[in-house]
Structure 1
Amino acid sequence: MARPSNSREAKELYELKQRAVEYYSENGVPKKMEELLNSMFYDDPEDVYGHVANYFEGYAKTPTINKVKAMEALDSKGQPTLQTEVYCKIKNFEKLVASSTSNSPNSRLSEAAKIEDIDEEMQEKKDSVTAAVGYINDTLNDKLHFLDPTNQSEADTLVSNEIKKLQEDFEEKNKELEEKEPTPPPQETPPPSKKGKSPTKKGKGPPVVIIPDEPLEKLFSGCNAVGALSKAICEAGAQVKNVPLYEHIATLRLKQAPGSYTLPVPMVTILQSGKAAPGKLNCVKEFMITPKPGMPVQEAAKHISNIYQVIAKQLFQKTGIAAKFVNDNGALVPTMDRPEQGLDMIQEAMTLLELTAGEDFHIVINAAGQECFDFDKGKYEVTTGQQKTAEDTVEFWVELLNRYPSVIGLIDPLRKQDKECWMKLCDRITERLFMIGDHVYHRPGLLNDEEINVDDFKTSGISLRYELMTSVTDIITCSDKVKQNGNIVILSANQAETPDTFIVDLAVGLEVKFLRIGAPCRGERIAKLNRLSQIEAQLTQQKITEQIFYEFPHIQPPPPPEPEEGELVEPEPEKNKSTPKKK
């Protein structure tokens, strides 16, 4: 009576074996096992099971995003920022692949802004971080499920579109609420004064026409989720591919792994001044230095640190311990009344260290012209009590730079609205230095849709930042566009940074000319300098680095419009133009 049972079990076992054979055959396991065992016998690996694991890893499914997670963290100023994590499904298990801490966006206010405005902006930043955490953990987490982290463009498009959709919904609700609110009744206007026209002061010329700054971009609360997620996914993509982050970024840009790399030159802040700093000097916000092209990063870092320490020591000896205090960027903030003081301090420190200013190291000035512009008077307050028109400011910079040939870069000397004077200044100085635009340009996402170097406004360099709604795809596209339009690219760190070194790998992958990192002080700044030195060592060992050179394109103003037929043309006055020395 036991036979039917045995027969049934035997049949079930046979069917099970058949299904197993089909399963393994469909997946090619027997063939691959045979190939592995044959090759392993001849390879004779030291770690047999490690060899087996490596072999089958090549046939594993492509890792996909299983979950993204965000939480609040703190930046170098103790303000809230985003920490973003990307989990991928790898070999049937969920693993944390990337954890990224974002920097905080730069303030859109000047450092001398009212405390009420600063408090309001800080509250907006806090609210934006809170909103971004909610978006990432909810809506965006669902959207990114099963996405390949190496497909950066698809991820960036998906996240950007979702944030735009949320922004449109938010604006639509606000519009409906505004329409429901009752409109206030019109107020009666007082009768006109008997005196009629308002009195005018005698002896005054025609009023100065001041072109106002363009309104700031209205940013949607939570839009920083775009930059934070894009950065974290980029890091996850590099981990999944098991390649250095800079190589992954370069491959995204070039569509293939590059054969060589050109390292960026570090641009480091030594001194800071401006309206919010002690002293009368307003027209210079930062005094920065850069090593000569080709100087190894490790050697340059030592010299940079020594220059900084020499100046700090001299300030301490002159005015005491308070002179060594640093700002958020780690820069020294001594009392200065004239730009020559900062330039002389740096050049004297170089001389003490047996370095030659203009040969071993160069100087870059961040003028931040928009911050020293007086809208009431329509003039630039170069020093407290000394105001200059845009034309006079051009002469001021030309005269100063002719006395300091070690300066090879000038950032935002004027507002963009003073286009004519900007172009005049370019004509006078760009044969020997870079005219760099920072505040005068929009963020990369907007700049991608705008014209660069139009006839009436040109630069030879553009400073880009990775923050807020900027994605990795945006900054790759923008960087290439900037170069194609005859500009060099400067990638800039923010005022409120974190120890995260993503910006360094980004600079190497994009092959930018300069990397602006702040001062050689404070951990979040030094971490970036150390990472650049580490990448240089890796690339030098592989012998895939190329030499960098400086070329200064001469920028000329557009030709005057041709006179109409019969119109008299006045002869132009001769320019008293000095010939600058070429590098």
Structure 2
Amino acid sequence: MNRIEDVYARQILDSRGNPTVEVDCKTDDGILARAAVPSGASTGIREALELRDQDPKNYKGKSVEKAVLNVNETISAELYDHDVLDQRGVDSLMNELDGTDNKSDMGANAILAVSMAVARAGAATCDVPLYRYLGGAMANRLPVPFMNVINGGVHADNNLDLQEFMIAPSGATSFSEALRMGTEIYHTLKAILKKNGLSTAVGDEGGFAPNLKNHEEALKVLVQAITEAGYVPGKDCSIAMDAASSSIYKDGKYGFEGKQLSNAELNSWYMEMVSKYPIISIEDGMAEEDRDGWKMHTESLGGKIQLVGDDVFVTNPAIFAEGIKNGIANAILIKLNQVGSVKETWDTIELARRNGYGYMISHRSGETADSFIAHLAVASSSGQIKTGAPCRSERVEKYNELLRIEEELGQSAIYGLPEKER
């Protein structure tokens, strides 16, 4: 009993119409569990490698048939009869099979899909929800949804250099209330944009992608939407940004609003915006290569708001440990496919906990209907999740799964950030 009988992969499509890997894990007691992996557009240079075939005649080079083959011909044979409850053993074995620092042989997309499917099979074997299997008996904290409602950068075809402007209903008393608040603000924002003759077409993550006069206009219109929806900015709902600044960084300068800014000049802009608007979190405010910029950014704003490292840490425990030592940021973004296994993702979360860093569970811009990260957010008691606007089914599925989890937890459910991170 509890043994892995078969692991089988297939190629499916993600929300951008690009191929990705889906895996079925079957056990000897008849359990079938399934998982599919996402893909990012804005990626850190040190992320685990997503293996693609590079054949221009097959999905324009983006097919993942090699990764699928690696699961079906190599990984499956090695995992046959392995204990499905031995998540660390399964993930370690796959890493040994791969033998590289960045999973470039088997492919991080192959390894992660198997890792997630095995975790689901383990939860089903124990007859418990995935969040309980991963997080234990005390996993009951629902996260604040950081909703990306205005898109820019590589996520949209508009004139905004920065990638995400988010609303965070941190003043809600439950996840279901937060989702309602965020959704009402989202629809109010749409009406405001439409009234002003601006585009309400949506980007990869469901947010709107209007051409605005400048980035401050995005912050102004979010405050307007929060207010017109009947909420108090900074009390009921706050604002967050993901600058994704590595994508605008070149030759030591940041391309921002038609100018080439130094890290000090960009940081001054952040400081001004934080002083004027209810901003509680900035992600990737500096480029991953700009360590001096990150230190300055952290020293000037780290005592006031959350500064999240994404590209600079890539969910990798070794890289994150180096950043902690250097005093970079005060929180980390957690993306399963950046490091490529459930085990290593959990190790990174534990490292954040031990060092007093916040951690935000995140989707990718190329998503699937898989809701694993909803369970990971509750399992890890992160108190915060980033999974797009309340629009597009691959985003909404995560929110709907969190509603189900909250309903299941009943009176034991807690909402929001842990006290030390408020």
Match of 1:132 in 2: 67
Question: Matches of 1:85 and 1:369 in 2, distance apart?
Answer: 37
User: Structure 1 residue 463: deviation in Å?
Assistant: 0.6
Question: CA contact under 8 A between 1:265 and 1:293: conserved in structure 2?
Answer: no
Query: Which secondary structure does the structure 2 equivalent of 1:395 belong to?
Result: helix
| Whole-angstrom CA distance in 1 between matches of 2:155 and 2:120 | 37
1:123 Cα offset (Å): 5.1
Tell me which of 243, 246, 264 is aligned to 2:131. 246
Aligned to 1:509: 379
The 5 Å alignment of 1:539-578 reads 539-541=409-411, 543=412, 545=414, 548-551=417-420
| 1:518 partner SS | coil
Write out per-residue CA displacement over residues 26-57 of structure 1, whole angstroms, 9 at most, x where no aligned residue.
xxxxxxxxxxxxxxxxxxxxxxxxxxxxxxxx
Paired residues of 1:381 and 1:387 also in contact (CA < 8 A): yes
Of 268, 286, 291, the residue aligned with 2:164 is: 286
- SS of aligned partner of 2:268: helix
Judged with a 3 Å threshold, the aligned counterparts in structure 2 of structure 1 residues 163 and 382 are, in CA distance, closer, same or farther, namely same
Report the residue type matching 2:263 in the other structure: A
SS where residue 72 of structure 1 aligns? strand
- Kept in 2, the 8 Å contact 1:98–1:236? The answer is yes
Q: CA separation in 1, counterparts of 2:286 and 2:92?
A: 36
Q: 2:112 corresponds to which residue?
A: 227
Equivalent residue, structure 1, for 2:145: 266
Q: Matches of 2:249 and 2:41 in 1, distance apart?
A: 20
Structure 1 residue runs of 5 or longer lacking an equivalent are 1-61, 111-117, 169-216, 251-256, 553-582
CA distance in 1, matches of 2:400, 2:31: 25
Q: Which residue of 1 aligns with 2:48?
A: none
Contact 1:68 1:86 in 2 (8 A): yes
- Is 1:531 the counterpart of 2:401? The answer is yes
The 3 A distance-change label for structure 1 pair 548 and 224 is closer
What SS class does the counterpart of residue 325 from structure 2 fall into?
coil
Q: Which of 217, 221, 229 pairs up with 1:353?
A: 229
Q: Which residue does 2:359 correspond to in 1?
A: 489
> Which protein has greater RCO, CA pairs closer than 8 Å, 6+ apart?
2
The 8 Å contact of residues 2 and 85 in structure 2, kept in 1 or not, is answered as: no
Could you tell which deviates more after superposition, 98-107 or 386-395?
Answer: 98-107
Aligned mate of 2:212, from 329, 332, 336 = 336
What TM-score, normalized by structure 1, do the two folds share? 0.66
Tell me the matched-pair count. 413
1:156 matched residue in structure 2 = 91
Q: Percent identity?
A: 27
TM-score, normalised to structure 2, is 0.90
Alignment-derived partner of residue 428 in structure 1: 300
Map residues 282-431 of structure 1 onto 2, 5 A cutoff: 282=161, 284-292=162-170, 295-319=173-197, 323-375=199-251, 378-384=252-258, 386-404=259-277, 406-431=278-303
- RMSD over aligned Cα atoms: 2.6
1:48-63 to 2 correspondence within 5 Å? Answer: 62-63=1-2
The answer as to whether partners of 1:293 and 1:550 remain within 8 angstroms in 2 is no
- Is the partner of 2:153 in helix, strand or coil? coil
Q: Distance in 2 between matches of 1:86 and 1:138?
A: 14
Letter in 2 for 1:360: D
Query: Alpha-carbon deviation of 1:403?
Result: 1.2
Q: Which residue identity lines up with residue 253 of structure 2 in the other structure?
A: K
Cα deviation 1:139-190 (Å, max 9, x = unaligned): 22221111121111111111221122xx69xxxxxxxxxxxxxxxxxxxxxx
Does structure 1 residue 453 correspond to structure 2 residue 324?
A: yes
Tell me which structure has the larger Cα radius of gyration: 1
Are 1:522 and 2:400 matched, yes or no? Answer: no
Between the aligned partners of 1:545 and 1:489, the Cα distance in structure 2 is: 17
Partner in structure 1 of residue 51 of structure 2: none
Q: Deviations over 1:255-303 (max 9, x none)?
A: xx32352222111100012377566542x21101111155211111111
Question: Displacement, 1:422?
Answer: 2.9
Deviation at 1:506, TM superposition (A): 1.2
The corresponding residue for 1:253 is: none
SS in 1 for 2:282: strand
Q: Distance in 2 between matches of 1:547 and 1:370?
A: 29
Unaligned runs of 5+ in 2: 46-53
- The answer to whether the Cα contact below 8 Å between 1:287 and 1:363 also exists between their aligned partners in 2 is yes
Question: Which amino acid counterpart does residue 299 of structure 1 have in structure 2?
Answer: E
Mapped to 1, the partners of 2:59 and 2:235 lie a distance apart of 42
CA distance in 2, matches of 1:544, 1:395: 40
The Cα offsets for residues 430-456 of structure 1, whole Å up to 9 and x where unpaired, read as 3321111111113426537x434224x
Pair 140,428 (structure 1): closer, same or farther in 2 beyond 3 Å: closer
Q: Deviation per CA, 1:203-247, whole angstroms, max 9, x where unpaired?
A: xxxxxxxxxxxxxx6833634211010000000001111001100
Q: Which amino acid is 2:309 matched to?
A: G
1:511–1:299 Cα change, 3 Å: same
User: How many Å apart are 1:411 and its aligned residue?
Assistant: 1.1
Q: Distance in 2 between matches of 1:483 and 1:233?
A: 25
2-structure distance, mates of 1:278, 1:153: 41
Whether the 8 Å CA contact 2:3–2:84 is kept in 1: the answer is yes
SS at match of 1:324: coil
- Paired residue for 2:49? none
CA distance in 1, matches of 2:143, 2:213: 33
Q: Where do 1:89-108 residues align within 5 Å?
A: 89-90=28-29, 95-108=30-43
